[in-house]
Chain A
Amino acid sequence: MLVSTKWLKEYVNTQDLPPAELGEKITRAGIEVDAVIDRSEGLANLVVGYVTDCVKHPEADKLSICQVDVGGGEIDQIICGAPNIAQGQSVIVARPGAKLPGGMKIKKAKLRGEVSNGMICSLQELGIETKLVPKSYAEGIYVLPEKAEPGTDVLSYLDLDDTVLELGLTPNRADAMSMLGVAYEVGAILGEEVSLPEIEYTEAADSAESMLSLEVDAPEANPLYVAKVVRNVKVKESPLWLQQRLMAAGVRPHNNVVDVTNYILMEYGQPLHAFDYDSLGSGNITVRQAKEGEKITTLDDTERTLSAHQLVITNGTDPVALAGVMGGANSEVSDETTTVVIESAYFASDSIRRTSKDHNLRSDASSRYEKGVDPNRVIPAAERAAQLLAELADGEVLAGSLVFDQLDKQERIVKVSPDFINSRLGMKIRLEDMLDILSRLKFNTEAVNNQLIIEVPTRRQDIQIEEDVVEEIARLYGYDEIPATLPRTDATPGGLSPYQAKRRIARHFLEGAGLLQATTYSLTSEVAATQFALEPTETTRLLMPMSEERSILRQSLLPHLLESLSYNTARRIDSAALYETGSVFLKGQDELLDEQEHLAIVMTGLWIDHSWQGEKTAVDFFVAKGIVEGLAEKLGLELSFERGEMDGLHPGRTAFILLDGKRIGVIGALHPSEQKQRDLKETIVVELNLATLLTRETEALVYTQVSRYPTISRDVALVLSNIVEAQTIEGVIRKAGGKLLKDVRVFDLYEGDRMEQGKKSLAFSLRYFDPEKTLTDDEVNAAHEKIIQALTESGAELR
């Protein structure tokens, strides 16, 4: 909502406050002033000029040489390039020394050999947006509607010596979508009275009923409809003051009839519509629900197909307007219009909201109906329109109105006690201060038995319950006056749940291990939605996505994390190791999705950079595996790994991760073709069901006494078929090792040229230990021998 402070003063005394200060007061009282716009910013030395003579420039087709009376008896020659310049016009002249927005300074100049003493201006050159400039002047200079005294200062003549407050309205404050509404708000803040427009006009002898009949077949959606008929109107340009007020309010002037409806929309917040009576062709207005499939072409030249729940205004047969949203092209007021039907109506907000949404069509009218208009302004707005059409379009207002009225216009009563207000606020506001605030708001209030009985004006539809009154009192008393206290509740322990605490532990471990935490989007494309998913299900698609790229809920974190890697490598950051925790969304039993918290890791490029101390190391499967193992240890869990395959991963370098024999994750190298497609080098990925890891109960930590006895090591080097996995051999060793074997560790792998084809060498370090005594060589040898025997039996050769 744009509020001209100059216009506002017509309804309320703003106590000569500078606009910025007024804006600050309005903001602090609850309606945020988003911007304070000085309409004269950058403008100086502009005067009204009168074109006494205008001839074509001999050297240039598009230029005219004008003689302009700029007041004080001076006639200046000005060259003008506008197509609509003509003799006998009153125009805006920027004389040498004048300033225009953007820091432009006007100087005397020569154009194709002719002297030009300044410039004749368009409205755009004065800083007015093109979309607000009347269509007839959009391509050229602005011609003042009435002849004005040459030399007059343009800023005051055009009301540009004005400051506009841009209000950011919350949906509850529909009352402030009008100048009168803002005037009431300012009046409440400053303690000033509001003066309403005085409505006076003479009526013709003929009655409106003699020309028009009205029928409303949808009283629920349209409980109040008023129509007035104005005859013999002269459709023309509006007077300057009206055009300027509309432009200040962000509305483009059209002609006096349309401008009057828009002016009252801005003044009262009540949408009006003007029909060309002759185009209606029936002398009848019928309001009804649309017929399914019925068509109407609206004022924006769009043909729209209607549905039965939409409300239309008809001429008894065909729709002539989409009620409360937009008029029909077939009954539009044109220059030839002589008789006008003015509609002022109350349409139910949900009906308008639905229609506006169906057609994706929002207008100044629909946005006000959606939020609810004041039932008590519908009739005065129609009267005001009649008055202005009589004044500005020389119209003859027919006597009376056509009225259908089933609307409840009663004020709401809200009862609240002063104690309630103070206890909610934690304050001690005196009764008389409360009564003062309510009277400034123009809420009629009676204080009876420690109870305030408040009659809420219908313009304030947002005041419904006691708490609403608490807010009104608080905001006008001043939020700064509220003391700062703390809740007087019992002390509570608070704290993280075990799940939340463990999630933090996991995160800290991963960061300590060298991974950066990343965050990616949950919405993805159809293709990426199930890629790398551990347990892919049917995908979940949005009803109205913004783009295909963000249309489906992800089932794996990896696709977007890999995109992040590609994003980095495309910027020459070749090494990156990221992790993310976040939800994946699977179809479940419930109507809600099965959301599971996952953990994913991606790494590419170097793990250890080349340095003066040693060689670089690239990321590999085992770097990632080490991190997963470390994480499991930190969480007190035992994971196992099982060779597996997954689309997009290297078939020889992929494993599933198991907890209690159940698959909970995957680890692997990205498939070379996938790497190529993503422009990545060797890349390792991990995805784990984090929720499973974190919900698993861990055992209590019990200390084991540190032994006095030493451990004894024995190494064993084996030659094996290279398809045998270390895990298998370790199993053989552990099984044969008995209770003295404490630890088994692979310490060497050799698969080079010196080995027989198809063979590899694996070396294990075994540690023996007895917590009760120092082991003798004989005891260790006996245990070790058993292991060697088992290994040999399993097909391994001793090296």
Chain B
Amino acid sequence: MEARLQELKNEALAKIQAAQTVKELTDVRVAYLGKKGPITDVLKGMGKLPAEERPKMGALVNVVRAEVTESLDARMVLLEEQAINEKLQSETIDISLPGRPAKTGNPHPLTRVVEEIEDLFLSMGYEIAEGPEVEKDYYNFEALNLPKGHPARDMQDSFYITEDILLRTHTSPVQARTMEAKGGEPIKIICPGKVYRRDNDDATHSHQFTQIEGLVVGEDIRMSDLKGTLSIFAKKMFGEDREIRLRPSFFPFTEPSVEMDISCFKCGGSGCNVCKKTGWIEILGAGMVHPNVLEMAGYDSKRLTGFAFGMGPERIAMLKYGIEDIRHFYTNDVRFLTQFQRTEL
């Protein structure tokens, strides 16, 4: 019996070593250690032995079992590792193949510019005011110190619908409406929106375009405050090393009026094709709110003063991104629009 056990052990150990796969090894386990296996059979046959031999034999069976089990487990670890390695090998992919594209769109370049400006002024405590695109002559002109027959009305030939209703020619009527609604209270707003002028569409003119304006009204608002505010705007929008320069200008709704140039962001001021060799780029118009405008909206212009500024996002986008034709903003060529996907931060 003892010999039989030794024989079984050697047989099992040989088969364990011979097993090449996890499955073969599992079969060996079942064959030798299973309930119906030969070692169990030996145990079952122990009943025929004399009682004094049984403990010795039992111990021997356990030793054999342990030896076989140990060898089997060791072999199993090896084979499993081998199996995993084979599996991994077979699962290798070509990582150079392109990824599955994430479907994504992006904002229009004008929205991008407008939002950037909005966010800057929102962070300085401004609110965003909006108003109708079809406007009363009163808000578009008269409330802005442009009475009927004023020569400056020629500056912006307008689309009238009736004698008193027109497509707004600037976003300034929103300022007039806001002042009227605020009833003499201080104001800090930004007004973005679409505007319309009787222009033939070409590379630099568009009968429809966008504007964004700002208005601050309060006690003792000075021209130096306008300059400081615009300076922050220029640096945030066009780079920290931008300088600004104010030039006297004329708008009927401001007095004094200025135009703001920034030092060229391309050449830094030495002169290039972007700044037309001047080192400066005209960006916006601004000024101190004309006392007539304040008074018309019910403000005491002796007590409260203000400044306003306005600019064209098309122009800013054209300068910033080097766009050559204003019509691109309105034709919606996918090859144009998709270029404004990525961040510049």
Residues of A bordering B, CB below 8 Å: 27-30, 32, 170-174, 349-350, 353-354, 370-371, 423-427, 465, 467-468, 470-471, 474-475, 479-480, 482-497, 500, 504, 507, 510-523, 540-546, 550, 553, 561, 564, 567-568, 571, 573, 576-579, 582-583, 585, 591-593, 595, 607-609, 611-613
A474 touches B223 (CB 8 A): yes
Interface residues of B, dominant DSSP: mixed
Known: A494-B124, A516-B334, A612-B98. A544 touches B198 (CB 8 A): yes
Known: A474-B223, A511-B104, A523-B208. A583 touches B133 (CB 8 A): yes
Is B128 an interface position by the 8 A CB rule? yes
Could you write out 8 A-B pairs with CB less than 8 Å apart? Answer: A425-B224, A470-B255, A471-B255, A488-B220, A504-B115, A518-B332, A520-B332, A564-B331
Which residues of B (89-104) have their CB < 8 Å from a CB of A? 97-98, 100-101, 103-104
Q: How far is the CA of A465 from the CA of B105 in the complex (A)?
A: 53
B134 touches A585 (CB 8 A): yes
Q: How far is the CA of A354 from the CA of B290 in the complex (A)?
A: 26
In the complex, chain B residues whose CB is within 8 Å of the CB of A468: 255
A485 touches B224 (CB 8 A): yes
**Measured between C-beta atoms, what is the minimum distance from A732 to chain B in Å?**
34
In the complex, chain A residues whose CB is within 8 Å of the CB of B110: 519
A519 touches B125 (CB 8 A): no
Is B160 an interface position by the 8 A CB rule? yes
A571 touches B333 (CB 8 A): yes
Return the CB mask of B202-217 against A: 1 if under 8 Å, else 0: 0000011000000010
In the complex, chain A residues whose CB is within 8 Å of the CB of B259: 32
Which one of A491, A514, A546 lies within 8 Å of B103 (CB-CB)? A514
In the complex, chain A residues whose CB is within 8 Å of the CB of B248: 29-30, 471, 474-475, 479
Return the CB mask of B154-169 against A: 1 if under 8 Å, else 0: 1100011110110100
In the complex, chain A residues whose CB is within 8 Å of the CB of B69: none
A542 touches B334 (CB 8 A): no
In the complex, chain A residues whose CB is within 8 Å of the CB of B331: 564, 567
In the complex, chain A residues whose CB is within 8 Å of the CB of B255: 465, 467-468, 470-471
A425 touches B333 (CB 8 A): no
A353 touches B149 (CB 8 A): yes
A471-B256, A583-B133, A612-B98 provided; 20 other pairs, C-beta below 8 A?
Answer: A171-B155, A172-B250, A354-B149, A427-B223, A480-B245, A487-B188, A510-B105, A511-B106, A523-B167, A540-B161, A544-B198, A546-B207, A553-B134, A573-B335, A582-B194, A583-B194, A591-B136, A593-B134, A607-B103, A611-B98
In the complex, chain B residues whose CB is within 8 Å of the CB of A510: 105
B198 touches A568 (CB 8 A): no
A511 touches B125 (CB 8 A): no
Which one of B127, B207, B232, B249 lies within 8 Å of A523 (CB-CB)? B207
Q: Give the residue name and chain of the B residue nearest to A462 (CB).
A: B250
In the complex, chain B residues whose CB is within 8 Å of the CB of A542: 159-161, 167
In the complex, chain B residues whose CB is within 8 Å of the CB of A543: 159-162
Q: Give the residue name and chain of the B residue nearest to A585 (CB).
A: B134
In the complex, chain A residues whose CB is within 8 Å of the CB of B42: none
Q: How far is the CA of A467 from the CA of B130 in the complex (A)?
A: 29
In the complex, chain A residues whose CB is within 8 Å of the CB of B154: 171
In the complex, chain B residues whose CB is within 8 Å of the CB of A174: 151
Q: How far is the CA of A736 from the CA of B165 in the complex (A)?
A: 58
B337 touches A513 (CB 8 A): no
A573 touches B161 (CB 8 A): no
Q: How far is the CA of A223 from the CA of B228 in the complex (A)?
A: 48
Return the CB mask of B230-266 against A: 1 if under 8 Å, else 0: 0110000000000001111110000111110000000
Which one of A519, A550, A608 lies within 8 Å of B332 (CB-CB)? A519
Is B221 an interface position by the 8 A CB rule? yes
Known: A542-B159, A573-B334. A517 touches B108 (CB 8 A): yes
Which one of B104, B111, B207, B256 lies within 8 Å of A467 (CB-CB)? B256
Q: Give the residue name and chain of the B residue nearest to A568 (CB).
A: B334
Q: How far is the CA of A470 from the CA of B165 in the complex (A)?
A: 35
Is B200 an interface position by the 8 A CB rule? yes
B223 touches A516 (CB 8 A): no
- Centre residue among A517, A579, A613 by max chain B CB count within 10 A: A517
Q: List 5 A-B pairs, minimum CB-CB distance, nearest first.
A: A426-B224, A30-B248, A426-B222, A471-B256, A170-B250
